[in-house]
Structure formats: structure tokens, C-alpha cells
A and B are shown apart, each in its own frame.
Chain A
Amino acid sequence: MHQPSQTARPSIYYNYQVFKPWLPSEHGPQEQKKVVIVGAGPAGMVTALELARHGVASVVLAADLQFSQGSRAIVFTRRSMEILQQVGVAHRMTENGLPWHCGNSIYRGQKVFRMETPQDPDDRFAPMLNIQQQYLEEYLYDACSANPLIDFRWGNKWTQAEQFEGGVKAHIDTPEGPYTLETEWLIAADGGRSEIRSQMNLKLEGASFESIFVIADIRIDLPYPTERLAFFDPDWNRGNTILMHREPHGIWRVDYQLPPGETPEEALRPESLKQRIDAQLKMIGFGGTPWEMDWSSVYSARTLTLPKYVHDRIVFTGDAAHLLPIFGVRGANTAFQDAQSLGWHLAYVVKGIAPEKFMQNHSTERVGAAREIITEAGKSTRFMAPPSRGFRLLRDAVLSLSLTQEFVRPLYHWRTSRPHAYSHSDLNSQFHEADTFKDGLALGAPPQNAQLAKDNFLLDHLGGGFDLVYLADKTGIPEDIQAATQLAKQQGIPFKLLAITQEAGSVSGADVTLFDPDNRFATRYGVSVGGAYLFRPDQHICARWSQLNAAQIGQSLKKALMQ
């Protein structure tokens, strides 16, 4: 029998709530479900929220009775915030998180590289935001529990899956014993140590690096702004790297590499942690400043992915699908993109808008993203934790040269997680417009935001279906375009037509009119009046026109739905 802990996890800044388990005896017989999601981390909950947004109900299974232990993922990218905005929790993240846009690399007490990414006025969100994962989970959970399409079950542990024609039977254990649940689709969002992955005997492909890192959260008063601090080869930990990040509530994340041969058990002994944290504080000039430990853990850098994420009716997402190195904040930030992609693909298959092979497109797109991330992350990892003598020599040579030579300093660039462009997606429609676009966004690209007015951005208005964004003037929407959009809606395609205009007043024939007095959309997207972009439900671009051709609207939607 599954007996999750009833004791609230310890924390010096977060008050864990212990939720009541969902017990089968308190509920009636269970009919077959559309979607069961195993795992209530960021990947699982964002998938549930996206599915619900597209009108598909799901059951979320949380093995524990509380949010996860320790801060875990703490840095969230702009694109992640845009995805969280889509599922309605971004405002809670910005209320409580710490935005930042600068990073520093320090060697021998000298700042050898500083990267500043100022916030563009066209962006709603800062390049990065720091907040502990428990808060993210709390906000996502609040959104899930407020949604009638999401059936959230605390204390429900998945134990086994049996696939049958057109579905999966999930065996679930609870504090009062097991029950089974039949579902059309089972989502494995059960994390890096995915038991579903192990039981199905699926192998991850890629590389594991030997270096082990400790992450420790301490409460300390340090007068540094919220910026990334990376210390290379310090005297107290020769050859290794230390990272520091500010978190809300006076917490600092200290992340350091262990010397070869040291075991995680040795490294996590309190006296070992204390000695190293004291040494790091001394090095930055704050030796003797009082501090208190909240949580510590270890990890090693891995660049691994499953070669496909969809296995009949079982779909892997987030860390269950791939293991990515922490450098460049790629874990949760990649999971949001996975979950967003999974949400609309699966919803459209469940609702019969797209054929089942549509799920293979999800797999292809996200495996492609993981492989790109792995290539990028491999570069950072080889610099942060050199895997061989040769790489170490080169890294050390660059550290040494960087004190005086400008040209090597860009090698410190840590290649932060960025959204993958689905440039070669089968869902893209190429209408030989490439030569008529001088700039703008390419097919498959993630969206760029545009500030239309104070506190009013383009992405506030996109999502939930396909969005055709048309740059209009006072003549309104041409009749053939109105007819084509009506037809698409009649065919059951979730679709809306947004008119962007520099002139006040609503544009007739559009579902939504967006007033853009400064022409920000046209500038950012490289279009003029009569031009248009078609955004998928994940806001990636799947078609664009310098002059919208009404006949091609239906064609591009069909292509994007594999109809």
C-alpha cells in the first residue's frame, strides 16, 4: 500500500501544506478517461492546463501529498513566462519572483565576462526570473484545482501500465490500496527517474558527464543584485566552477563542482557543506557572515533523450523524456515547451480535429528540440566541467588568457535555454513568400512579443487555437478573407482572426481588433497592410503572407492539422 509522508517537508522559507489523499472509496466507479497524467511537476501540470484550455479533461496523479522538496528549478526564461501566461499563472510568478538580465563570470577576482540582455520594451517579461519551484508548483496547482476539467489526485502513485488497443490501463496505488483506471492516453510526466520509462525498458541516448555538482540553498544577507555569478577555478576549489543565484526570501543558491572521486554522500555531509560554503563566502569577501542551510542535493550533467516520445498511447514529456544539464537552465524551461506542444497536439487528436499521426509530429518536433538543446548544452558543459584532459587544458588556457585578451571572453557565454524553432516542421506552409519578406519571423519560429499600448502586448491576445493576425487599415477585412475564416470555423477548427490596425475603432469582420498606434507589430514582423501571420496554438508560426491570400488560409490550416 502506498503510504506517502504526512509530515510537512522542512523548509526555512516555504510553508508546505499536506493535502488529503484522493481515495477510490470516496468516489464512484471510474469511467474510462481521455488522458491520465502521471506526475504533478511543472511538465505534468502545464500539460493538464493546456489540455483543459483546449477543452480536454485529464486526471493528474501526484504520488506525494505536497509540493516537491527544495527549490529545484529556480530560473525561468522569458519564453517560459510567456507559456505560463497562456495557462494563467505568469502574474503570480512576476508578483513574487526576481527578474534579472545580467550575468558575470569571475576568474581570479576579476570580472572577465559580463553579459547584459536589457529588457526590450516590446517584451512583457524579463529575460530571466528567479523563483523557487515550490511556488511555481503552488501557482500551477491553484490553476489546476480551479479548473473543472482537471481531476487532481494527491497520494496516487502509478505502479504499472498495460496497453490495450486504443488505450492504457493504469494501476494506481493509494493510502487505502490499489485501483485501476482506463484511459485513452497516458502521459509519463514522472520526472528524470521515470518509472514508466524503466518499466518499458526504454533507453535514453546521449552522454553523461562524470562531474558531480552540489546545489545548496542558504539564507544569507548578501548585497548583490539578482544576477548570475559564475566563479571559475577559485583557490578553494581548484579547477572547478561555482555558481550563485539570488532567490526570493533572502535565499541564495550555491552550486559547486566536486573534485573527482568524491562521493555524493561525502559531499552532502553537513561539515563538508559548511566548509565549502564558508570558503566560497570568504572568497567573495563575506567570510563569517551568518547563514542558514535550507536544502541541498547533488546532480551530474547529462545530455540524454529518448529517440521518440510517443509510444502507442503512452507519451513521455519533460525530464521523463530527456535529461538536460542544469547549465543554461534547460530542465523546467524545456519542460514547459514540451508540455505546451503536447497539450495542443493531444487535445486536437482527442477531439478528432487532427489524425492520430499528429502525435508523431509532436514527438518529432520535441525530440528535435531536445537534440538541439543537447548540442548547445554540450558546449556549455565542456567549458563548465571539462570532460577530458584536452578540454581542461583548453578551458584553463582560456581562463588565463581572458584576464588580458578580449577575444576569448565570449567563450564564457553560457548559452541560455532558448525556444526551438520548428523550421522543418511538416505543419509549416511555404507559399514562396521568402523573397518578398525582407525580415520578420521565419516559419516555425517561436513568437516575438510586441507592445501595442502600455501593459498591452500581442501575446496577451494569442493562444487557445490558431490565430491569424492580419495587418488592417480602415477598409477592414476583405470579403474573401472573411469568408475563408468563417469556413474554417464551420469546419470546427479552433481559430480566430485578429486585426491589427494603427487606426482607432474596431475593424469590421475581425474577431478581435488590436489598436497598435506605433505600428510595433508591423515593425517586428516585417509586414505592411494586407500582410498576415498564422500562429499555431503554441504561438509558433506556421504560415505568413506579405499579402494575405484568402484561398491559402484553409490550405495552411489543413496542413497544420495534417488533415
Chain B
Amino acid sequence: MVTIECSANWPKFEESIDAMNTIPSLDIAGLEKVYDNLAEAIDQAGPDKSELFLVKLALLNAQALGDPAVFEAHIASALKDL
């Protein structure tokens, strides 16, 4: 039997409210659309260029985000559990 404990990593209630106030999030339909588009674009870029494509995309997203600290948090999240 698996016990699920309330982890310290879980966002605190206040923090998630705060995040919702400043950064718009995707609804399920939106997330599914991003999922499909990104997968197809990686295939389109091909194995030799997909890495370059993803870095370009990350830079464009970072520019739209306009917040180096949030981007740094995204880097930390994405580096986890690789």
C-alpha cells in the first residue's frame, strides 16, 4: 500500500494563488493543443535540429515571459527527475 504524504515541495496555498494572479495558466484544452503542436514541431524539425528548435522556442518564451526569475524556476523544475 502506498502512503502519500503532504510534501514540502507542494506549493503552498498562498503561493499558488499568487502565481495564478500574475501568470495566466493553460486550461486542459489549451494544454492538449500545446502538447500536440510541440510534438509535431519537434518531428518537423527532425532529430538533427530539434534541440536547436527547442532552445529557440525557450528563448522566445522567456522573452514573452519577461521575468528571468520565473524562467530560472522553470529551468530548475525542468532539470528535476531527468
B residues within 8 A CB of A401?
56, 59-60
Distance from B58 Cβ to chain A, minimum over Cβ atoms (Å): 8
B residues within 8 A CB of A408?
59
- Please give the number of chain B residues whose Cβ is less than 8 angstroms from any Cβ of chain A in the complex: 8
A 372-401 binary contact with B (CB < 8 Å = 1; else 0): 000000000000000000000110111011
How many residue pairs bridge A and B at CB < 8 Å? 22
Contact of A393 among B55, B60, B63 (CB under 8 A): B55
Contact call B52/A405, Cβ cutoff below 8 A: no
Contact call A397/B52, Cβ cutoff below 8 A: yes
A residues within 8 A CB of B40?
none
B72 is an interface residue with CB less than 8 A from chain A: no
A residues within 8 A CB of B58?
397
B51 is an interface residue with CB less than 8 A from chain A: yes
Contact call A400/B56, Cβ cutoff below 8 A: yes
Distance from A123 Cβ to chain B, minimum over Cβ atoms (Å): 35
A 405-432 binary contact with B (CB < 8 Å = 1; else 0): 1011000000000000000000000000
Contact call A396/B59, Cβ cutoff below 8 A: no
A residues within 8 A CB of B52?
393, 396-397, 400
A residues within 8 A CB of B59?
394, 397-398, 401, 408
Contact call B60/A405, Cβ cutoff below 8 A: yes
- Report the Cα distance A408→B61, complex, angstroms: 12
Distance from A342 Cβ to chain B, minimum over Cβ atoms (Å): 40
B residues within 8 A CB of A396?
52, 55
Contact of A407 among B51, B56, B63 (CB under 8 A): B63
Closest residue of B by beta carbon distance from A397: B55
A residues within 8 A CB of B63?
405, 407
- Report the Cα distance A405→B55, complex, angstroms: 14
Closest residue of A by beta carbon distance from B58: A397
Distance from B59 Cβ to chain A, minimum over Cβ atoms (Å): 6
- Report the Cα distance A400→B55, complex, angstroms: 10
Distance from A112 Cβ to chain B, minimum over Cβ atoms (Å): 14
B residues within 8 A CB of A397?
52, 55-56, 58-59
B residues within 8 A CB of A398?
59
- Report the Cα distance A235→B39, complex, angstroms: 30
Distance from B53 Cβ to chain A, minimum over Cβ atoms (Å): 8
A residues within 8 A CB of B51?
393
- Report the Cα distance A408→B60, complex, angstroms: 9
- For residues 88 through 136 of chain A, which have their beta carbon under 8 Å from a beta carbon of chain B? none
Closest residue of B by beta carbon distance from A389: B51
Contact call A394/B55, Cβ cutoff below 8 A: yes
- Report the Cα distance A462→B12, complex, angstroms: 63
Closest residue of B by beta carbon distance from A408: B59
Distance from A468 Cβ to chain B, minimum over Cβ atoms (Å): 44
B residues within 8 A CB of A405?
60, 63
Distance from B66 Cβ to chain A, minimum over Cβ atoms (Å): 10
Closest residue of A by beta carbon distance from B64: A407
Distance from A413 Cβ to chain B, minimum over Cβ atoms (Å): 16
- Report the Cα distance A408→B59, complex, angstroms: 9
B residues within 8 A CB of A393?
51-52, 55
Closest residue of B by beta carbon distance from A394: B55
Distance from B80 Cβ to chain A, minimum over Cβ atoms (Å): 18
- Report the Cα distance A290→B6, complex, angstroms: 75
Given contacts A394-B55, A405-B60, 9 further A-B contacts (CB under 8 A): A393-B51, A393-B55, A394-B59, A396-B52, A396-B55, A397-B58, A400-B52, A401-B56, A405-B63
A-B contact pairs, 10 of them (CB 8 A): A393-B51, A393-B52, A393-B55, A394-B55, A397-B52, A400-B52, A400-B56, A401-B56, A401-B59, A405-B60
- 4 closest A-B pairs by beta carbon, nearest first, are A397-B55, A397-B56, A393-B55, A407-B63
